[in-house]
Amino acid sequence: MDIRRKSSLINGIVWLIVLLSIILFFFPALDLTIFSNPKIEKLVGSLIILIGIVVNFILLFRNKKEVTDERMIKIQAKSMQFTALSTMMYVFLFCMVMYDINKGQDISREWFWFLGYSSFCLFYTLGSLSYYVIDSRGIGYDN
């Protein structure tokens, strides 16, 4: 397994754990009114995401420099295309569902914080795992 594929797998697993931690943090017993202090909510969410960012930097600076060729550039482009479209669809569908659930009324701020944190984590998770899958399967870069 080459360096970039292994880093993508490790990074994807770490960001998946961060995403699940964000979900578990925001949905204790499906009651979003537990936050009496919004500063604590922001701080804990930011600290959870900081773990993923620190792992990103460790993987970035720990690994040796790998030669980049046209194949890797094409795999990365396809991976980012999939990631961007998937994240945009997630944000759009999330907003539409929130609007329908609340019948056009005000939406709680916790939902917007959840959307921001989860879309950030989802982008990194999908980016890393889609690179790993496309590189492993060898689809899309040979034509």
Could you read off the pLDDT of 85-118 as tens digits, one per residue? 999 999 999 999 988 888 878 887 778 888 888 8
pTM of the predicted model, to two decimals?
Answer: 0.79
Inter-CA distances, 134 with 67, 116, 126, Å? 18, 27, 12
Q: At what angle do helices 3-26 and 38-62 cross, to 10 degrees?
A: 170
Residue ranges per structural domain of the chain? 3-137
3-state secondary structure of 35: coil
- Give, in degrees to the nearest 5, the angle at Cα 120 between 39 and 114: 45
